Amino acid sequence: MDIVDKVTNEDYKYGFETQIETELFPKGISEDIVRMISKKKNEPEWMLEFRLEAFRYWKTQEMPHWAHLSIPEIDYQDIYYYAAPKSESSKNPDDVDPELLKTFDKLGIPLSEQKMLSGMAVDAVMDSVSVKTTQQEALAELGIIFCSIGEAIKNYPELVKKYLGTVVNYTDNFFAALNSAVFSDGTFVYIPKGVRCPMELSTYFRINAKGSGQFERTLIVVDDDSYVSYLEGCSAPMRDENQLHAAIVELVALENSEIKYSTVQNWYPGDKEGKGGIYNFVTKRALCKGTNSKVSWTQVETGSAITWKYPSCVLMGDNSVGEFYSVAVTNNFQQADTGTKMIHIGKNTRSRIVSKGISAGQSQNSYRGLVKVTANAENARNFSQCDSLLLGDRCGAHTFPYMEINNETAVVEHEATTSKISEDQVFYCNQRGIKTEDAIGLIVGGYAKEVINKLPMEFAVEAKNLLSVSLEGSVG
């Protein structure tokens, strides 16, 4: 029996749990809990008001069911909305609990000064709090702000007030309202005018506490003529229960600026029988506010039991560009409904969508995308390509493209393909001496190449490995 457990669980490398004392608020959500979170974080009055308004709205809403997902009933009163490693209170950079450092080391995210990766700054978030943010001083010299959202609310209230909730309003959807009420930590980035951020900024999200939900909030503002590349990673322990992760990410790109946002999503996907795993219900949206601004989303989605996620671009500035590159893998009983929205408002705006779905086992994988061209968006251009790759014959791949075109000058193209990894492709590799698992890795890597190549180099390799691991045992 042990051997069976070992083999079936081996695939998910990050499923360990850190033994650390955790401070928990009582389970459930109420105005009191919202006030407690705000108080715990020493927030100003306006922030508490922001939360309460969102909470009151959330109470009037019901969970959406339009996605091609079968989501079991979620008891929102049975979740811890605040969980924090106890030693965090001091948050002295040199005084992080060694147990936490060890955890992030194990995840391949070294936080100590000696081991820090050069060319990369990291904000490490466990459960509801940011435990450490690296490279802050070096970045501050350029006027770049890179800190937890909690610190930003305290230290840069004007900036946060100006942009928070402007891209994703709490009324946007059920999970956005929930997040706006109870969000705990997350990352804030501000790149001042005319600065090209010299290193990759990244946040690593880790869920550790049992029964908790993670509600992180990320806000990235890139001022005129600036550039940043940002990467997000995540993982969670293996548990039989389902844990909720409902995040909001807002990006604001001002004139001539560019944001590259990459995600390697590796939340625990549940076991082979579909037990446990993270519910990943996330709202990510970018506002290309300035003329000539550009936002590029790249995502490699391999984890989570259920994914509900549509990183989108509102192309408001003239000549602005939105891109969405996605590889979404589902195996066993995973479900994903993911895609993007490209909203063309400014003139000469362009968008490009490349979505590669890979379904295996008995999973369901859907692409859902909206291309909207408003009446004044002269000369809008969109190209969408949605490919699905099926492994085996018990999984499903679905494509739901929507188009709303209200301007005659728009040119919108959509291509879609569905293919299977054939026995002959695998045999061809075998005949050259390549093992089946490595063959699948090669074939899937080739299929996803266009997207993987958009990732920062260090992560492209990791993402490739992750793809093969996620599909282990799915053929044959």
Partner 1 sequence: MLLEIKDLHAIIKSNGKEILKGINLTVNSGEVHAIMGPNGSGKSTLSSVLAGHPAYEVTGGEVIFNGKNLLELSPEDRSHEGLFLSFQYPVEIPGVSMTNFMRAAVNEHRAYKGEEALSASEFLKLMKSRSEYVELDSKLAGRAVNEGFSGGEKKRNEIFQMAMLEPKLSILDETDSGLDIDALRIVAGGVNKLKNADNASIVITHYQRLLDYIVPDFVHILYKGKIVKTAGKELALELEEKGYDWIKKELGE
Binding site for partner 1 (CB under 8 A): 422-425, 427-436, 438, 442-443, 445-450
CB nearer partner 1, residue 89 or residue 422: 422
Task: Report the sign of the C-alpha dihedral through residues 64, 67, 73, 78, in that order.
Answer: negative
Residues 433, 439, 445, CA angle at the centre, nearest 5°? Answer: 140
Q: How far is the CB of 108 from partner 1 (least distance, A)?
A: 23
Adjacent-strand bridge partners of 253: 222, 288
What are the two backbone dihedrals, phi and then psi, of residue 469, each rounded to the nearest 5 degrees?
-65, -40
Q: How far is the CB of 427 from partner 1 (least distance, A)?
A: 6
Nearer to partner 1, 255 or 458 (CB): 458
Residue from 328, 197, 330 nearest 264 by CA: 328
Give the side-chain half-sphere CA count within 13 A for 252.
21
Given the complex with partner 1, which of 59 and 435 has the nearer CB atom?
435
Extended beta strands in 302-438, E state = 306-309, 312-315, 321-330, 335-344, 350-359, 364-373, 381-390, 396-405, 411-420
CB of 475 to partner 1, least distance (A): 11
For residue 369, the cross-strand partners are 340, 401
When the beta carbons of 108 and 446 are compared against partner 1, the nearer one is 446
In the complex, what is the shortest distance from the CB of residue 439 to partner 1, in angstroms, rounded to a whole number? 8
Which residues neighbour 262 within 8 Å (Cβ) at sequence distance 6 or greater?
Answer: 229, 230, 231, 232, 297, 298, 299, 454, 455, 456, 459
Smaller CB separation from partner 1, 89 or 430: 430
Q: Between residues 244 and 451, which has the closer beta carbon with respect to partner 1?
A: 451
| DSSP code for 311 | -
Q: Which is nearer to partner 1, 218 or 470 (CB)?
A: 470
Using the minimum distance from each CB to partner 1, give the nearer residue, 30 or 417.
417
The distance of closest approach from Cβ of residue 449 to partner 1 in the complex, given in angstroms and rounded to an integer, is 4
CB of 355 to partner 1, least distance (A): 15
User: What's the CA angle centered on 263, arms 230 and 328, to 5 degrees?
Assistant: 155
Residue written as tokens 């909720």? 244
Minimum distance, C-beta of residue 423 to partner 1, in the bound complex (Å) = 6
Name the β-bridge partners of 365: 336, 397
Helix 174-182 to helix 45-59 angle, to the nearest 10 degrees?
150
Phi, then psi, of 330 in degrees rounded to 5: -125, 140
Smallest distance, partner 1 to C-beta of residue 359, A: 18
